[in-house]
C-alpha cells in the first residue's frame, strides 16, 4: 500500500549510535515531577492509579495540582549521587522525564512559564542530570510527553477548524521545546516520546513524520522509538504495511515478548515498574513489589530475546530515593558485577530457556559455541 508517512526504512538501523543502543542491555527510567510531592496522596485520601496521573483524579482540583510548583523544592537532589547509584547498578542508559503529561518542565523552557525557574528550587534540573550521567559514562535519553495538560492549545481531537488552528500552534510549541532541549543538552542520545495516542496526534501523521526527520537532522545519530509517529491512516508503531515506524519498538511496556518471533526481529526495549503499576513516587506501593531476583530474571529474558530492559525509579519530592529502590539497585548491581558479560553486547542465542536459565550470546561467546 503506498504511504506518504509510513516507515522510511525497512529493517534495522546499523549505524554506530544504534549499535551502541543495541549493546546496552540494562537501562534506568526516572519519573520525577510535581506528582513526586504528593506521592499518590491528597487530603488524607489515596489515589489508586499511577501517581504521575493524579492530576486526572476527580478528587483533586486541577487548581491545587497546578499550584504545586510553588512547593516544588527537591533540596536534596544530588545528580552525582543519582549517577553513582545508576553506575553501581550497571545501567548503560537512562531516560529522564523532562516534561510529563502535566506539562511541568524540569528545565528552564523559554516556551512555557510552567517550569522549574518558577519554583522555590529555581535551578535547572535536566542539565545537571544530563552532565552527571554523561560523565559517569551513562547515555542519556530524554522523556517528553507530547500530550500537555497545561497548554490551552492541546486538543484530544480535531473536530472544528478552530481546533486545527489551536493544534497547529501546539505543534509549533512542541517543535520549539524539542529544539530547545537538544540545543541545551547536546549530550542527548535519543528522545523517548509519550502521550501520542490521542486522535489529534493520530491525525498528524505528516507533522510527526516531518518532526522526526527535522530532529534527526538537527541532532545526527538521534534515536527515536516507535511511539512518536503515526502513518497516513493514524496507525501507530507499525504502519499500514506492518513496518516499524521508529528506530526500535517502543510498545513493550510492563510486558516482555513471549518468544523471539513476537519481536518480529526488531530492536526493542521493555520499560518496567518495580511495583505493579505507577512510575512516579507513590507513598503506598500497591500489590506486589518485584524482587531484585525477579527483575534480574526479566533482564536475562529480555537480553536473550535481543531486547534491552529498563527499570523505573520514582524519587521522592525531596530528590532522594526510597530505601527499597536503593536496595533493589544495589542488588542488581552486585549481580551485574559478576554476570555483566551475559548482558552487555549480548543477544539472542537461538536456544530456548532451560530449567537453569536463559542463553545469550556475545561476539566473543558466539565464536566459542
Ligand atoms: C505512559 C504514561 O502515561 C505513564 O505515566 C508513564 O510515563 C509510562 C512510561 O508511559 O503510560 C502508558 C503508555 C502506553 C501504554 C501504557 C501506558 N501502552 O502502550 O500500553
Q: Which three cell numbers stand for residue 138?
A: 551513562
Write out residues in the chain with pLDDT < 70, as ranges.
367-369
> In a 3-state reduction of DSSP, which class is residue 72?
coil
- d(CA 229, CA 224) in angstroms, rounded, equals 10
- d(CA 138, CA 94) in angstroms, rounded, equals 7
Pocket (CB within 6 angstroms of ligand 1): 50, 52-53, 194, 251, 253, 271, 279
82's enclosing H/E stretch is helix 79-89
208's enclosing H/E stretch is helix 205-218
Q: Tell me, what DSSP letter sits at residue 301?
A: H
Contact status, residue 78 vs residue 67, Cβ threshold 8 Å: no
Minimal-distance CA residue to ligand 1 atom 13: 194
Minimal-distance CA residue to ligand 1 atom 10: 194
- R_g (Cα) of the chain, nearest Å: 20
> Which atom of ligand 1 is closest in space to residue 50's alpha carbon?
5
Q: What pLDDT, in 10s, does the model give residues 237-284?
A: 999 999 999 999 999 989 999 999 999 999 999 999 999 999 999 999
Return contacts of 72-75, CB within 8 angstroms, 24+ apart. Answer: 72/34, 72/37, 72/116, 72/119, 72/120, 72/121, 72/317, 73/119, 73/120, 73/121, 74/32, 74/36, 74/121, 74/125, 74/315, 74/317, 74/318, 74/319, 75/121, 75/318, 75/319
Instruction: Confirm whether 6 is domain-assigned.
Output: no
Minimal-distance CA residue to ligand 1 atom 15: 253
> In a 3-state reduction of DSSP, which class is residue 251?
strand
Minimal-distance CA residue to ligand 1 atom 8: 279
310's enclosing H/E stretch is strand 307-313
- The model carries a pTM of 0.97
Q: What pLDDT, in 10s, does the model give residues 137-179?
A: 999 999 999 999 999 999 999 999 999 999 999 999 999 999 9
Minimal-distance CA residue to ligand 1 atom 4: 279
- d(CA 20, CA 184) in angstroms, rounded, equals 23
Instruction: Confirm whether 195 is domain-assigned.
Output: yes
Instruction: Confirm whether 121 is domain-assigned.
Output: yes
Which residues make Cβ contacts (< 8 Å) with residue 34, sequence separation at least 6? 65, 68, 69, 72, 102, 104
Instruction: Confirm whether 194 is domain-assigned.
Output: yes
> What CATH number is given to the structural domain containing 311?
3.20.20.80
Best residue among 148, 235, 274, 279 to mutate for probing ligand 1's pocket (most ligand atoms within 8 Å of CB) is 279
Instruction: Please tell me the distance between residue 194's alpha carbon and the centre of ligand 1 in angstroms.
Output: 7
Minimal-distance CA residue to ligand 1 atom 19: 251
Q: Which residues constitute the domain of residue 182?
A: 16-368
Instruction: Confirm whether 11 is domain-assigned.
Output: no
Whole-number pLDDT of residue 368: 43
Instruction: Confirm whether 280 is domain-assigned.
Output: yes
Instruction: Please tell me the distance between residue 289's alpha carbon and the centre of ligand 1 in angstroms.
Output: 19
Instruction: Confirm whether 3 is domain-assigned.
Output: no
Instruction: Please tell me the distance between residue 227's alpha carbon and the centre of ligand 1 in angstroms.
Output: 10
**How many domains are contained in the chain?**
1
Instruction: Confirm whether 2 is domain-assigned.
Output: no
Burial of 356 (0-12, 13-18, 19+ CB in 10 A): exposed
Instruction: Please tell me the distance between residue 220's alpha carbon and the centre of ligand 1 in angstroms.
Output: 27
Amino acid at each position: 500500500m503506498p504511504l506518504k508517512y509510513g516507515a522510511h526504512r525497512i529493517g534495522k538501523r546499523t549505524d554506530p549510535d544504534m549499535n551502541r543502543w543495541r549493546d546496552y542491555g540494562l537501562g534506568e527510567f526516572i519519573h520525577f515531577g510535581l506528582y513526586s510531592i504528593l506521592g499518590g496522596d491528597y487530603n488524607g485520601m489515596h489515589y489508586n492509579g499511577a501517581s504521575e496521573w493524579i492530576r486526572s483524579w476527580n478528587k483533586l482540583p486541577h487548581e491545587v495540582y497546578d499550584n504545586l510548583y510553588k512547593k516544588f523544592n527537591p533540596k536534596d537532589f544530588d545528580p552525582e549521587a543519582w549517577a553513582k547509584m545508576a553506575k553501581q547498578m550497571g545501567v548503560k542508559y537512562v531516560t529522564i522525564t523532562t516534561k510529563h503529561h502535566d506539562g511541568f518542565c524540569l528545565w528552564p523552557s523559554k516556551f512555557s512559564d510552567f517550569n522549574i525557574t518558577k519554583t522555590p528550587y529555581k535551578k535547572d534540573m535536566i542539565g545537571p542530570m544530563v552532565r552527571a550521567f554523561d560523565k559517569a559514562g551513562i547515555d542519556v535519553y530524554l522523556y517528553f510527553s507530547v500530550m500537555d495538560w497545561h497548554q490551552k492549545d492541546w486538543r484530544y481531537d480535531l473536530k472544528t477548524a478552530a481546533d486545527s488552528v489551536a493544534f497547529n500552534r501546539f505543534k509549533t510549541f512542541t517543535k520549539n521545546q524539542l529544539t530547545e532541549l537538544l540545543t541545551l543538552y547536546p549530550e542527548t542520545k535519543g528522545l523517548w516520546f509519550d502521550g501520542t495516542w490521542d486522535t489529534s496526534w493520530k491525525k498528524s501523521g505528516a507533522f510527526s513524520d516531518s518532526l522526526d526527520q527535522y530532529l534527526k537532522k538537527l541532532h545526527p545519530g538521534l534515536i527515536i522509538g516507535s511511539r512518536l509517529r503515526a502513518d497516513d491512516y493514524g496507525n501507530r508503531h507499525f504502519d499500514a504495511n506492518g513496518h516499524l515506524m521508529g528506530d526500535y519498538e517502543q510498545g513493550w511496556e510492563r510486558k516482555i515478548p513471549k518468544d523471539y518471533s513476537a519481536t518480529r526481529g526488531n530492536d526493542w526495549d521493555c520499560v518496567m515498574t518495580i511495583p505493579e503499576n505507577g512510575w512516579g513516587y507513590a507513598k503506598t506501593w500497591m500489590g506486589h513489589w518485584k524482587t531484585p531476583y525477579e527483575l534480574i530474571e526479566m533482564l536475562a529474558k529480555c537480553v536473550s530475546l535481543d531486547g534491552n530492559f529498563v527499570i523505573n525509579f520514582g524519587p521522592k519530592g525531596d530528590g532522594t530515593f526510597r530505601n527499597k529502590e536503593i536496595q533493589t539497585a544495589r542488588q542488581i548491581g552486585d549481580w551485574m558485577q559478576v554476570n555483566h558479560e551475559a548482558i552487555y553486547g549480548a543477544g539472542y542465542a537461538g536456544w530456548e530457556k532451560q530449567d537453569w536459565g536463559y542463553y545469550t550470546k556475545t561476539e566473543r561467546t558466539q565464536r566459542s559455541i
